[in-house]
Structure 1
Amino acid sequence: MESNVLEVVNLSKIFKKDAAVDNISFSLRKGEIVGLTGPNGAGKTTTIKCILGLLRKTKGEILVDGFDSTLKKSKYKLAYIPETPDIYPMLTVWEHLKFMSLAYYIKDWESTAEQILKKFDLTDKKNELGKNLSKGMRQKVSICCALIHKPDVFLVDEPLIGLDPKAIRELKDAFKKLRDDGKSLLVSTHMLDSAEEFCDRIIVLKNGKLLAEGTIEELRSKVHGSENSSLEDLFLEVTQDEK
């Protein structure tokens, strides 16, 4: 059986007396996209930031390829794509890739950069300044920059917000290309219709707790939904308040 590339075991994050994340466990396998969904305040972003080490977990264990996530070799296997793409307005697309290559001490990076730009249809934007790119293009540049150091796991926070339909389609295609290359993605999103199209599995959080996890078919079975139940239907069923 293939080992998991990311394991989150009994993770909790407590702010003062409030548990933003409450003893959750899940994993990612190689070459799959997992959607992290839930209402506002469910703990999605906190979970991602704990995995990255941007927040210190209260308790639990996070393993990347079997190694503790705090180790340097684990951090090299992770890539983060935030909701707002953090690129430099006065650097060209090519200069972004050069900057990341220098930051990671990567030699002979140019051919790899050319291949990455070609894969994501950005070759014609090579000399375009960051300030002139649309949000969708900036998201794709963020992915290209992350790919330079060859991570195994991408953590993506609300990537589809503010994108037009064409940009959403292009970004979903980009995620599928990463999956086809054996990369694993944990994608936090509220956009359930889109998540249903490109996610292999879904994790549902509410109030910091993991309520449900599985494929669309498995979730339908858990809530006794029909074969035509959408992810939105299942989400509302799983997250409804107890009477």
Structure 2
Amino acid sequence: MIEVNGLTKRYGDFTAVNELSFAVRAGEVMGLVGPNGAGKTTTLRCATGIIPPTLGSVRIHGIDLAADPVAAKRQLAFFPDEPRLFEYLTVEQHLNFVARIYGLTDWKERAAPILEELEMADKRGLLPGELSRGMKQKLTIACGLLHAPKLIIFDEPLTGLDPGGIRRMKEVMKRLARDGAAIILSSHLLSLLEEVCSHVLILKNGVKVADGSIGEVRARFATHADSSLEDVFFKATEDAATPAPTFAGSAISPPPLP
């Protein structure tokens, strides 16, 4: 559902991301991790068309992002770590507004199960100022899921959620993957990635140091059989001078998407 090839982003003489290639296919959940300054945010912004890459290409559901940005962006939803809402629109008015942008006439039917799943069905008439931080996050997600995107990108999605909300959010991500969405999950919570993700991409200093299924990456970097993803992460970033290998069926050198 997303294919990134040779992505490079430079700011003057500084290279934030260097020749990055990966793919995430339908039903896969890829965890994007790395130390601060690794290039995660730049990668997400380039992958969603917020900023243009210096070099390289991004294809979303087979559509070249640079050649047809509107059509490509219609296939995705991007949820940043900080919700951005209209203070004078209610929950339901937010959904109506988004539906008009995407030309959805059946938005009420689409919205009902989403609000129910996110436990917001009783919040329809509330303004953002009346919502908790976690509820604002859920409203942002409800708006983003309304048009049934093929690619869904989460940046620290659990911020502000209580334990019940965290459990529900993990269930939502797993359900979206089962339904065929390709998901990128960027988070410093490695235990979350271990629980939810099928694949992992580890960056350091703008360079890919590990890429593949959780099992493949663990097999390369784990020091013992029960190594956690946290153990794998520290080993991978310590060994960052070693090039990332090509795994069979991994996201390196992906075939063209249909």
Same fold (TM over 0.5): yes
The 10-residue stretch of structure 1 (98-107 or 217-226) with the greater mean CA deviation from structure 2: 217-226
Three-state SS of the structure 1 residue aligned to 2:19 is strand
What is aligned with 1:42? 38
What is aligned with 2:63? 67
Distance 1:155 1:229 in 2: 27
TM-score of the two chains, using structure 2 as the length reference? 0.87
Extract unaligned runs of 5+ from structure 2. Answer: 242-258
Cα distance, 1:73 vs. partner?
1.2
Distance 2:191 2:207 in 1: 23
1:56 aligned partner, one-letter code: P
1:93-146 Cα deviation digits (max 9, x unpaired): 111100101122222322111122223222122222212222222222112101
Q: Among residues 84, 87, 91, which one is paired with 1:93 in the alignment?
A: 91
Q: 1:48 to 1:24 in 2, by over 3 A?
A: same
Distance 2:139 2:179 in 1: 18
TM-score of the two chains, using structure 1 as the length reference? 0.92
1:28-52 Cα deviation digits (max 9, x unpaired): 1101211100000000010010011
The 10-residue stretch of structure 1 (34-43 or 186-195) with the greater mean CA deviation from structure 2: 186-195
Would you identify which runs of 4 or more consecutive aligned residues in structure 1 move more than 4 Å? none
Distance 1:39 1:58 in 2: 22
Cα distance, 1:150 vs. partner?
2.1
What is aligned with 2:251? none
Number of aligned residues: 239
Three-state SS of the structure 2 residue aligned to 1:106 is coil
Matched, 1:56 2:46: no
1:121 aligned partner, one-letter code: E
Three-state SS of the structure 1 residue aligned to 2:164 is helix
What is aligned with 1:167? 165
Cα distance, 1:152 vs. partner?
0.5
Q: Among residues 202, 205, 209, which one is paired with 1:204 in the alignment?
A: 202
Q: Among residues 141, 144, 147, which one is paired with 2:145 in the alignment?
A: 147
Contact 2:80 2:155 in 1 (8 A): yes
Cα distance, 1:148 vs. partner?
1.7
Give me the identity figure in percent.
41
What is aligned with 2:111? 113
CA RMSD in angstroms comes to 1.7
